[in-house]
Structure 1
Amino acid sequence: MKINKYGTLFIIPTPIGNIYDITYRSVQVLQKIDYIAAENYNKIKKILNKFNINKPIISFHQHNEIQNTKIIFHKIKKKKNIALVSDAGTPTINDPGFHLIRECHKKKIKIIPLPGACAAITALSASGIPSNKFCFEGFLPSKEIQRKKALNLLKYEKRTIIFYEAPHRIIHSLQNIIEEFGKKKKIVLARELTKSWESIIFDTVENILYKYKNNQSICKGEIVLILSGYKNKKKKIISKKIQYTISVLKLFLPKNKIAVIISKIYNIKKNYIYKYLIDKIK
């Protein structure tokens, strides 16, 4: 492990379900560092016990992040190496750590991120929904008014959209998605990923809501929702009325003249009409 002027902050992902999803490198780093800054004592302790690691743990969650950042800096300045871990998955992805990371950059403290588990990416990889462009929105607001506003702002988002959701709110959130996106919207609901009882469902939001309403026992565990992006469906604006007008005009005028006249009468772009004439009218 490279030693710098100060200690180093390691960002270490932890399993989102299956404990064996932790990487060999993560285990090796946890064995060598001096302290672990952890969001959840019991969860990190379970991992440490599994791999026979014994390290002092610093509590680090959303309620004490700013306060305990100072404690971590004090130890790093004494050349102590610290591992940042969250409840599950990759730290700072909808978890505490942003303030700490930003302050480390300001103080020129070396940060080493390790790759590993992330529920959003794990679900996306198995979603069957385009993954070349996507946005991550974290948890939807808990209150319905704010939740509907958040969804409304994403109504015309062309990228795939990823949310986290809590089990006790999932039915309400699905209902709100129907209100804003329509009942035929394609979504994926991934639940309890990497566990033996994990579930990944690809369907319309209407059908998934029906399944959940009629089987309350599956409304458990952490949930990832993935929505397909907005697609601008082009309407067939060349109506039968327009087609009839074109059929009359083509008896007397060339295509470019017809395009100008149709554009004026029906308020349609001239280039669109001309392309239609080239493609359809012989």
Structure 2
Amino acid sequence: MEGRLVLAGTPMGAVGDASARLCQALATADVIAAEDTRRTRTLAAALGVRITGSVVSFYDHVESARIPDLLDRIVAGATVVLVTDAGMPSISDPGYRLVAACVQRGLPVTCLPGPSAVTTALAVSGLPVDRFCFEGFAPRRSGQRRNWLATLRTEPRACVFFESPHRLADCLADAVEVLGPDRRGAVCRELTKTYEEVVRAGLAELADWAAGGVRGEITVVIAGAEPTAPAPTDLIAEVERLVAAGARLKDACARVAGPGVSRRAVYDAVLAARRGGQAPAVGPAGAGPDSLGPG
């Protein structure tokens, strides 16, 4: 039989979230590479699964050393199932390097879909998350964290990331200063577990809440930046380009105008720029500034 690597998502808390395919994989794997072998054996026992293969540790500090042997086993025909403590391997958990090594060797890699704190937090956040970016863990140091948060000022996508409960209050305080007190967010604590809690509010309110101390595993979602309309003067060059290509001025203004910027405002900006010598009055031969009216 051809060997393969199987990435298997494990429950974040509620054992009942385990899939039937996960149970089968744990029971039939030749090798289980586990971030914490004790947790994996405990999970198997809770699921009523008898592990028949070998179980080896696969956490950050031994990951690189374990890869050659696991690759050799896959080449020899073994099915290696990779599990982490909770959620999906490779998502801020061990796994990426082993996947990359398998891909480089041309070895089969597949995945058993399962729980993920990223998508779970997005789903319950109550924020627009049709587009999002995942940032892993927030930087530990305040200076680096503020620089990172600054990149989110104009980010239109929702941002989801992990944070330590001990640093959450400081992280949210920095977010208030960098992103503003009213930017919406959600702090998701202990997802799928007994004491699950989701707090949804503006960043200032979330920071005040976190200042009292928070425990458990934390996933944070911050809403994307509201789109800002460009200034009419920012659109002058595009209008002049369209006019130079043969468009009438009023038509060019209508084409570049959009939400928050009227074609009249764009038109007035173009005329003001032409009068002030800021932009050349280019256009078809013999053409002068047209009006926004008919003709």
TM-score range, shorter chain: 0.7 to 0.9
Amino acid at match of 1:25: R
CA positional deviation for 1:52: 3.0
Amino acid at match of 1:21: D
Amino acid at match of 1:182: G
CA positional deviation for 1:234: 3.6
CA contact (8 A) 2:5 2:109 kept: yes
In the other structure, the counterpart of 2:50 is 53
Alpha-carbon distance between aligned partners in 1 of 2:75 and 2:152, rounded to the nearest angstrom: 44
In the other structure, the counterpart of 2:152 is 154
Deviation string 1:110-129 (CA, Å, 9 cap, x unpaired) is 11111110001001011121
Give structure 2 stretches of 5+ with no counterpart.
233-263, 282-288
**9, 12, 16: which is aligned to 2:12?**
16
In the other structure, the counterpart of 1:142 is 140
TM-score, normalising length: structure 2: 0.78
Give structure 1 stretches of 5+ with no counterpart.
238-254
**92, 95, 98: which is aligned to 1:97?**
95
Are 2:228 and 1:230 equivalent residues in the alignment?
no
CA positional deviation for 1:264: 5.3
TM-score, normalising length: structure 1: 0.81
Alpha-carbon distance between aligned partners in 2 of 1:122 and 1:265, rounded to the nearest angstrom: 56
Q: Assess, with a 3 A threshold, how the Cα gap between structure 1 residues 230 and 258 changes in structure 2: closer, same or farther.
A: closer
Secondary structure at the counterpart of residue 167 of structure 1: coil
What percentage of residue pairs aligned between the two structures are identical? 30
In the other structure, the counterpart of 1:187 is 185
**104, 109, 122: which is aligned to 1:124?**
122
Deviation string 1:125-152 (CA, Å, 9 cap, x unpaired) is 1112122211000001111111111111
Amino acid at match of 1:113: C
Alpha-carbon distance between aligned partners in 1 of 2:15 and 2:153, rounded to the nearest angstrom: 37
**221, 236, 240: which is aligned to 2:216?**
221
CA positional deviation for 1:77: 2.3
Amino acid at match of 2:227: N
With 145-154 and 134-143 compared, the bigger mean Cα shift is at 145-154
In the other structure, the counterpart of 1:250 is none
Are 2:172 and 1:177 equivalent residues in the alignment?
no
Alpha-carbon distance between aligned partners in 2 of 1:102 and 1:195, rounded to the nearest angstrom: 32
Alpha-carbon distance between aligned partners in 1 of 2:118 and 2:58, rounded to the nearest angstrom: 22
CA contact (8 A) 2:4 2:80 kept: yes
Alpha-carbon distance between aligned partners in 2 of 1:48 and 1:66, rounded to the nearest angstrom: 26
Alpha-carbon distance between aligned partners in 2 of 1:258 and 1:124, rounded to the nearest angstrom: 43
